[in-house]
Structure 1
Amino acid sequence: MEVRALAEQPPFTTKDGSTIRSILDLSNAPVDKQSLAEATIPAGGETERHWHKDSEEFYFILSGTGSMEIDGETREVGEGDGILIPAGAWHQIKAASDLRFLCCCAPPYRHEDTYFE
């Protein structure tokens, strides 16, 4: 059985600029098909616009508000919103207030699968 406490996971910065704490991923568990992490972006912050060749992502907003852009379409997002980011889609999230969300990637997140303009 694999159980990981969020509070025990060290934060790191991804290639897109968000601060992540991996809950279950390739670095800390024998995962094969997905990863789960908590991401935070301070008010006024944003990720760098990017895309993933392999990974489809789900974001689930735990707290805060912001705007999510996917392939040129932008929507306001907030607590309780789930967001699908298809593999290959350009995307960026901007925080209007401190933003905290879960990020699930399938296949698991890898720095090498993050591409920029």
Structure 2
Amino acid sequence: MIISKKNAEHYIWGGICDGWHLVKQNDLSVIQERMPSGTSEVRHYHHKSRQFFFVLSGMATLEMDGEQHSIGAFHGVEVQPGVPHQMSNQSQEDVEFIVVSQPMSHGDRITAEG
């Protein structure tokens, strides 16, 4: 089956951000997300999940283990298990990105301080 935002399972996080499950399996998760200007996720890490964030549009900021990374469209960053990170949108435009998690990160998220 061909999948897109139009027919994928949708959810809202952080009260205003969107997520669409493109692949939702225990061993692999692919989610397309939209973050409006000024939004961010909670800083966290995963025990098992390795993640890859790939920006489709806009400019995202990924804080990873205390270091800020600006990620523009068609660029990505891998986050290893155990590394604290936080995705945010510090720009004036929406950011859309894909996050691939292997295995699925749901249930493997630990809030990190700092």
| TM bracket, shorter-chain basis | 0.7 to 0.9
Q: What is the aligned partner in structure 2 of residue 5 from structure 1?
A: 4
What is the alpha-carbon distance in structure 2 between the residues aligned to residue 13 and residue 54 of structure 1? 24
CA distance in 1: counterparts of 2:4 and 2:74, whole angstroms: 22
**Structure 2 regions of 5+ residues with no counterpart?**
none
Q: Which structure shows the bigger proportion of residues in strand conformation?
A: 2
Query: Which residue does the alignment assign to 1:77?
Result: 71
Residue 115 of structure 1 aligns with an amino acid whose one-letter code is I
Give the TM-score of the pair, scaled to structure 2: 0.84
Given that 1:25 and 1:109 are in contact with CA atoms closer than 8 Å, whether structure 2 keeps it comes out as: no
Alignment of 1:16-31 (within 5 A): 18-26=17-25
Distance in 2 (alpha carbons) for counterparts of 1:53 and 1:5:
29
- Larger helix fraction of residues: 1
The residue number in structure 2 matching 1:61 is 55
* Per-residue deviation, residues 48-105 of structure 1 (Å, max 9, x unmatched): 1111111000010000112111000112111011110111110011111211000100
Aligned residue type for 1:106:
Q
Change (3 A) 1:54 1:6: same
Match of 2:109 among 76, 89, 114: 114
User: How far apart in 2 are the matches of 1:108 and 1:90?
Assistant: 17
RMSD: 1.9
Distance 1:82 1:75 in 2: 10
Q: Which amino acid aligns with 1:36?
A: V
Quick check: 1:61–1:81 contact (8 Å CA) kept in 2?
Answer: yes
Is contact 1:63-1:99 (8 Å) kept?
Answer: yes
Question: Does residue 87 in structure 1 map to residue 81 in structure 2?
Answer: yes
Q: Aligned residues: percent identity?
A: 23
